[in-house]
Structure 1
Amino acid sequence: MRFLFLLLLLVFPNLAIAQASGVAAEPASAESASSEASLDELIRIIENEQTRAALIDRLKRANQETGVPADAPPDLSIVRQLAEYTRAAAEGTSATLKALGQMFVDLQQGLSGTMDADLDALRDAAIGVVLTAAGLFGSFLAFRIIVLWAQGVIARRAAGRGWIPRLLAAMAAALVDLGSVLLAWAVGNVVALLVGATGRMGINQSLLLNAFLLVELSKLAMRSILSPRFEAVRLVPVGDGNAAYWYFWLGRIISLIGYTFLFVAPLLAANLSVGAASAAQVLVMATAVTIGIVIVLQNKTDVRIWLSGIAERRGHDGTGQLLVVLGQYWHVVAIVYLITLLVVWFANPEQALPFMLGATVQSVIAILVGIVIVGFISRFVSAGLRLPEDVKARLPLLEARLQAFVPTVMQVVRWVVIAGVLAAIAQAWALFDFVGWIGSARGQQVAGSVISAALIIMVCMVLHVVVASWVEYRLNTSIGKTPTAREKTLLNLFKNAFTIALVVFGLMLALAQIGVNIAPLLAGAGVIGLAIGFGAQKLVQDIITGIFIQFENIMNEGDVVEAAGRSGVVEKLTIRSVTIRDMSGTVHLIPFSSVDQVSNMVRGFSFYVAEFEVARDSDIETVKQTMRDAFAQVMAISEHRDVILDDLDLQGLIAITPASMSLRARIKTLAGKQWGAGRLYSELVMRLFDERGIQTPTPRVSYVPGKGGNLLPAAGEEPA
């Protein structure tokens, strides 16, 4: 078929030109006879096998001589495509400028009768068209009065109701409007049949009716969306003034372009000249573009204020700043687009307008879909993630972790959506054949690599959340078995080590999927680790000592220890250091390289050692009994009785001096519980000492007037 088409282009150049330009010109009789003879010759060549084979060989040689293989892949580079577009636009513009002059010459000749225009036929056609138009538009205006009344009734019933009744009312109003358009079109058809010769509709009346149907259906869609008269059935949140303004101008542009291209231009081409039709199209396109530029300039400030308000409500984030920049220069972009549309249409009037309109519609659809998706994501992120109460009770930190994790993922998804919208726009304007590229082997390889890397990162994130939640569940004291101090320490160390390993391996695997050679990275990591080992000996010593401390299980989180001269509660324990909070609340971070010994005060069980010093002349048995009575009072309190593991270990007299005696007792308690019971025991012993007259060896000095005024010791005390 390709060879036959090339042959037709060679044999019938006039026919090819007529098909490319879309103008049906009537050839001369001599040319018709020549074309018929050439067609007979072509049929004779194709029917003969030898001549057909020779023709195919000749066409193949001609194709090979061009030096471009038939299956050569297209050049997808943007620079090459821009160069091709520029060259085609320049050539088309030059040809169009020449053709424009000829169009106006043809129009002048057509109006003066030099091109043998049949003005009588034009007059007869005009009469039929005028009568059809009168019946068509007259009936439409009459039906519009009824439609406005019906739409007013529908709008009054839908006013103040929810969005579903309003949507149904808008659909009902659109159906009523559609009925008026179809009825007017039907009336126009009846009038066209009545005024036509022998009851047949003329081609000009048919053009008018088709143009009316398409134009009014387009305007009906605008009326259904904007509803300039009735706010209750309006589908967009704009005021009455804006709705009327935009419908007025958009309706005028649609009518101007639609009736010109669908009715006026074909009418002029058929009854006057092709040049007159082309001149009318050029004039209308220039007028429409001028109206568009005026509309853009009139709304420049309003759109900028509207976009600035959206950016302010978004807190001037990345998208908000982009909206601010767009508000400053959107009118420039719109004017350049309209002028480009006009110039490109001049350069290629048959293909440029459908292409640009189709690309514009596709771009608008892609942007609207992207806005809907991004808006849904933003609303989901702003609404937050709420977990059920039973899950929050088991995993109290999971909701906060997900709320910090989900926005990051949604931000990535938002940029993916933006990239997809840009790719769709580039595809629509033929700047980049994304569909063709993604269908190629290279595109599938790149897409597969990116998707694999993204899945690896997502799996790593999910694993991190799962492991962190499991550790949190095991450490939750309100559910299940209470974890021991050893479990707390090991689980926290496991979570930290697992997170580091997951980040390293996940990053390496993701880089490997996108084509990065990770072997040099692993080798470099080994060299860097060796250099760190030599240069940071203290760090290595911290880690090695920390490993052995963990193996020996000498301390865990929550233990009361003494290390490196600091004593207090262990708040955090890593592989390198220990964090201790002392009695005053001060936090000490102690690296393990500074720890030469660790004293754990809460391992297994504890003793409270109480030593009391009494006067030298006190009765020892009385003192011991007093200490036993104080312990009995402590045991009478259930809070302390539950933590005391054994009877009082009364060791008795442990030291004696000329002025005092010292006695010792020990109370065995649960690990870390000795201080509460011990403080109460000491308080009770001192209170009983006072009640029973047992004196402590506190020096007391009294003044006795005597010789020289010397200070003498009180009775029962030795001189100093």
Structure 2
Amino acid sequence: MILARILLILCMLAPALTGGALAQVPLLPSADQPATASDSEVQDDQSVRQLIEILENDAARQALIERLEGAAGQDASATIEEPAPTLSVARQLAEHTRALSKTAGRAADAFVHVVQDFRGSINAALSTDFAQVRTAAWNLALVAAGLFGSLMALRIVVIWLQQRLAGRVAARGWRVRTGAVVAAALIDGASVLMSWGIGFATALTLARDSGGQVGVNESLLLNAFLLVELSKLLVHTVFSPRSAALRWIPLSNSDAAYWSFCTGRLISLLGYTFFFVAPVLSSSVSRDAAAAVQVIAMTASVALAIIVVLQCKEGARARLTEVAAERGNDGVGQALLLVGRYWHVVAIAYLLTLLVAWFANPDGALPFMLGATFQTAIAVLAGMAISGAISRVIRFGLSLPEDVRQNLPLLETRLQAFVPRVMQIIRLVVVAGVVLAVVQAWGMFDALGWLGSERGQEIVGSLIAAAFIVLACVVLYIVVASWIEFRLSARAGKMPTAREKTLLSLFKNAFTIALVVFGVMLALAQIGVNIAPLLAGAGVLGLAIGFGSQKLVQDIITGIFIQFENVMNEGDVVEAGGKSGVVEKLTIRSVSIRDQTGTLHLIPFSSVDLVSNMVKGFSFHVAEISVAYESDISVVKQALRDAFERLLETEHKNEIIDELDMQGIIAFGDSAVVVRVRIKTLPGKHWGTGRTYSEIVKTVFEERGIEIPYPHITYVRAKGAADASVPFGGDDNQRALA
């Protein structure tokens, strides 16, 4: 039969496709020749014979194929070249308004006919078989009693177990608490499944008496129960109204109980209405009755949700204001203040839009909005969980083992400065991911399609590669800085020399500069920036600096030679550029010297003509002591040797590396003879050793009566001064000054 219809269609198309003599054969009766049953049969036979002739003739068959291909091509081109006309915004609004009005009219009609449908159904049931209706209602009531009664009984045990579990993990870490939350959810889910099993067993028992098949109403109730209670399980897991230790969201017990109660009631109202009550009414009463009940449930749910939003408006605003104040009203804090001021308006607008969309297109708009809302909620909750974990990491920081802190005392400080910044970047990435997920859910932008495209993969791959390069550079810097710190530490096995300190510090500075330059260049190259002009510009800039900053070039060249000749290192006491003191920092361009007063001098190498290192290799304390001309020089020398022997008994004995160098008399002064001795010490130890030796020498000289002369000025009385009015010996006549 199907083949005959196809042949008939081809026969009807053949005159228009082949032309010529075939086109002159009439397929339909003319107006003056009305068709009869016999004429139609004759005409069909002729059409079939004509089609057979076409298929047998090669030329005619080829012409038919070409005509068919041409017609198909014209249809395709017409489809491509003539797109459907685009309606204006006003026309689209008019269409949506008309659809909404039709839906509202149908809903009103449903309300009008509900009572009539119920009355007719009851009359039909009374007229047919009241016992059957009573049996069905009784079976449904028994199944409901089995479901909800067992759930209430099991919920008592579940609450007890969850409270015991919360008491055990109340003071534990977040990992243990997360495991406890999962365990509590599994316990609650097990109670739902057990209740469903009891209800299903009840339905099977009742079905055995009525033929062994579970009724449709009982199946609808079982399915609705499982779906609704598992949805409420997620709400209980998130809010945990009875156990604060198992709560993911930072809410008080009263707020958690309130939100859990309201959300659970909304889920129960919508779930049991749409998945149980409405299907039962549709099958037993009418579709209008089911639609009316759905309208009532949906309107009541939206009204209840709006009431909840208005009740929580001030509390949510106060909480967001408090969080913003804790953050110091920064950028995120200002965003939280804005959300707290207008969140209820957005929520109410969303609820009303949801209701209107359901009225207009319950089969298309509502599933889309519910799916987009669910995806948005999942994305936001996941983002909040990740952001909370990041905040905990930033708040508590990192703690290294004690031995690592002793060997690398600065590593923990570097990590505590580096890790929070990385966590902040990860938080921004998470926020961007949440925004993309929300945009994708509501169909505003096809983020997944863009990420799957070649351009999107190229951009995302470039950004990820640049981020990994920057991260690798930072990690490499921390590793190298920690290794240098370990080498400079006394726990590396030996004390580092001054030369090692200097070279390692210079290497750290040079490595840091090179790492920053190469890291920035590679990261820019990954994101598509042409770095060839940057390299050329850097070369030209370096050449310009070389010509225009001769002092800088002189500083660097002189510094290179100073380092090459190893004339001074960090920690040395030197005199350079007219300043003397301890070398605190030595770079390739300058030296930082701190003098005895604590003043830090930065001296460029271009101004250094002479470097005097006072602690290179060894040191000498040179003591030049003046004694009176009347003193016995041999006694003085022996006293100086005895003072040296006493010095060897002090704490400076390990600093002295040679015997006393007695050089004897080196000068004859106006009132004293100068005797010189030298004491050879370790580098930089001659100052402390010399001070102690001077104290011992003074003590020995006092014990042996050796005089250390000092200049005297004597005023001599002039002749005839005895007759003066002022007696001799007055303060104005004679005075001895040291």
How does the TM-score come out when normalised to structure 2? 0.77
Q: Secondary structure at 1:599's aligned position in 2? A: strand
Question: CA contact under 8 A between 2:667 and 2:675: conserved in structure 1?
Answer: yes
Mapped contact 1:269–1:276 kept (Cα < 8 A):
yes
Q: Give the deviation of 1:397 after TM superposition.
A: 1.6
Q: Which amino acid aligns with 1:360?
A: T
Q: Does structure 1 retain, via aligned residues, the 8 Å contact 2:204–2:212?
A: no
Instruction: Identify the match of residue 692 of structure 2 among 680, 692, 696.
Output: 680
Query: Post-superposition shift, 1:499?
Result: 0.3
Partner of 1:151: 155
- Residue in 2 aligned with 1:427? 440
Give the gaps of 5 or more residues in structure 1: 1-44, 71-82, 713-717
Deviation at 1:361, TM superposition (A): 1.6
Residues 139-167 of structure 1: per-residue CA shift (max 9 Å, x gap): 53576456535533554566453247897
Q: 1:227 to 1:661 in 2, by over 3 A?
A: closer
**DSSP 3-state at the match of 1:67:** helix
The 3-state SS of whatever aligns with 2:440 is: helix
> Which residue does 1:97 correspond to in 2?
100
Does the 8 Å CA contact 2:196/2:222 hold for their aligned counterparts? no
Q: Is the 8 A contact 2:324 2:332 kept in 1?
A: yes
Against the structure 1 CA distance between its residues 378 and 126, is the aligned structure 2 distance closer, same or farther, given a 3 Å change threshold?
farther
Equivalent in 459, 471, 486 of residue 473 of structure 1: 486
Question: Structure 2 vs 1, CA of residues 634 and 327 (structure 1 numbering), >3 Å: closer, same or farther?
Answer: same
Please point out which of 140, 149, 155 is paired with 1:136: 140
Match 1:666 to one of 655, 663, 678: 678
Please list the CA deviations of residues 575-616 of structure 1 after superposition, one character each: whole Å capped at 9, or x if unmatched: 222111112222222222322211111111211111112222
Count residues with an aligned counterpart. Answer: 652
Tell me what 1:395 maps to: 408
Q: Deviations over 1:525-561 (max 9, x none)?
A: 2333344445444333333332222222221111111
Instruction: Specify which of 326, 336, 352 is matched with residue 365 of structure 2.
Output: 352
Cα distance, 1:634–1:101 mapped onto 2, change above 3 Å: closer
Cα deviation digits, residues 211-237 of structure 1 (max 9, x gap) = 455445545665676677x66998677
In structure 2, distance between residues paired with 1:580 and 1:346: 83
The AA in structure 2 aligned to 1:61 is Q
Question: How has the CA–CA distance of structure 1 residues 186 and 125 changed in structure 2, closer, same or farther, with 3 Å as cutoff?
Answer: farther
Matches within 5 A, 1:125-524: 132-133=136-137, 135-137=139-141, 140-141=144-145, 144=148, 147-152=151-156, 155-156=159-160, 159=163, 161-163=167-169, 171-172=186-187, 174-184=189-199, 187=202, 210-211=223-224, 214-215=227-228, 218-219=231-232, 222=235, 242=255, 245-263=258-276, 265-266=278-279, 278=291, 281-312=294-325, 318-524=331-537
- Per the alignment, residue 665 of structure 2 pairs with 653
**Relative to 1, partners in 2 of residues 1:621 and 1:84: Cα closer, same or farther, differing over 3 Å?**
farther
SS in 2 for 1:162: helix
CA displacement at 1:286 relative to structure 2 = 3.4
Spell out, residue by residue over 1:286-313, the C-alpha distance to the aligned partner (whole angstroms, 9 max, x if none): 3332222222111111222333444455
8 Å Cα contact 1:121/1:271 also seen in 2? no
- The alpha-carbon deviation at position 515 of structure 1 amounts to 0.2
Q: CA deviation at 1:517?
A: 0.7
Identity of aligned residues (%): 53
Which AA in structure 2 matches 1:666? R
1:99 maps to a residue whose letter is K
Cα distance in 1, alignment partners of residues 510 and 99 from structure 2: 72
How much has 1:182 moved relative to structure 2? 4.5
Q: 1:703 to 1:692 in 2, by over 3 A?
A: farther
Distance in 2 (CA, whole Å) between partners of 1:254 and 1:382 is 37
CA contact 1:185–1:213 (8 Å) conserved in 2: no
Q: Distance in 2 between matches of 1:644 and 1:299?
A: 83
Q: Give the distance between the partners of 1:512 and 1:250, measured in 2 at CA.
A: 52
Counterparts in 2 of 1:231 and 1:656: CA distance versus 1, 3 Å: closer
How far off is 1:172 after superposition? 4.5
State the 1:318 CA deviation.
5.0
Letter in 1 for 2:570: E
How has the CA–CA distance of structure 1 residues 96 and 274 changed in structure 2, closer, same or farther, with 3 Å as cutoff?
farther
**Residue type at the aligned position of 2:494:** K
Is 2:626 the counterpart of 1:613? yes
| 1:685 maps to amino acid | V
Question: What residue identity is the alignment partner of 2:674?
Answer: S
> What letter is aligned with 1:623?
V
Q: Contact between 2:619 and 2:684, CA under 8 Å: does it hold in 1?
A: yes
Who is 2:592 aligned against? 579
Query: What residue identity is the alignment partner of 2:702?
Result: D
Contact 2:590 2:604 in 1 (8 A): yes
Aligned residue for 1:693? Answer: 705
Range moving further from structure 2, 675-684 or 520-529:
520-529
The range that moved more, 207-216 or 588-597, is 207-216
Structure with max Cα Rg: 2
Residues 87 and 626 (structure 1), Cα distance of their counterparts in 2 relative to 1, 3 Å cut? farther
Q: 3-state SS of the aligned residue for 2:530?
A: coil
Deviation at 1:260, TM superposition (A): 4.1
| Separation in 1, partners of 2:348, 2:146 | 39
Maintained 8 Å contact 1:132/1:205: no
Structure 2: distance between partners of 1:695 and 1:95: 125
Structure 1 pair 125/265, CA: closer, same or farther in 2 (3 Å)?
A: farther
Residue of structure 2 equivalent to 1:36? none
Return the match for 2:553 from 535, 540, 553: 540
Q: Distance in 1 between matches of 2:285 and 2:552?
A: 95
Cα gap change, 1:129 to 1:595, in 2 (>3 Å):
farther
Equivalent AA in structure 2 for residue 162 of structure 1: R
Cα offset, 1:682, TM superposition: 2.1
Pair 1:85–1:642, CA change in 2 (3 A): farther
SS of equivalent residue, structure 1 residue 545:
helix
**1:205 Cα deviation from its structure 2 partner:** 6.8
**Amino acid corresponding to residue 467 of structure 1 in structure 2:** V
Judge conservation of contact 1:630–1:684 (CA < 8 Å) in 2.
Answer: yes
Alpha-carbon distance change, 166 to 97 in structure 1, aligned in 2, over 3 angstroms: closer
Pairing 1:598–2:604 present: no
The one-letter amino acid of 1:410's match is M
Equivalent-residue separation in structure 1 for 2:500 and 2:346 (angstroms): 64
Give CA deviations for 1:460-513 in whole Å, capped at 9, x if unaligned: 111101111111111112331221111111110110110011001100000000
CA deviation profile, 1:10-32 (whole Å, cap 9, x unmatched): xxxxxxxxxxxxxxxxxxxxxxx
Helix, strand or coil: the match of 2:684?
Answer: coil
Contact 1:493-1:575 at 8 Å conserved across structures = yes
Q: Which amino acid aligns with 1:690?
A: E
The DSSP-based 3-state class of the residue aligned with 1:549 is: helix
Query: Take 2:652 and 2:244, find their aligned partners in 1: how far apart are those partners?
Result: 76
Helix, strand or coil for the counterpart of 1:613?
strand
Letter of the aligned partner of 1:691 in structure 2? E
Asked if the contact 1:104–1:276 (Cα under 8 Å) also holds between the matched residues in 2, the reply is no
CA distance in 1, matches of 2:551, 2:666: 46
1:101 to partner: Cα distance: 5.6
Distance in 2, matches of 1:141 and 1:248, equals 22
Out of 259-268 and 231-240, give the one that drifted further: 231-240
Deviations 1:27-86 (A, max 9, x none): xxxxxxxxxxxxxxxxxx9xx99999977764453232222699xxxxxxxxxxxx9997
The answer to which structure, 1 or 2, has the higher relative contact order (CA under 8 A, 6+ apart) is: 1
How far 1:420 moved relative to its partner?
1.9
Between the aligned partners of 1:464 and 1:351, the Cα distance in structure 2 is 56
Distance 2:483 2:87 in 1: 61
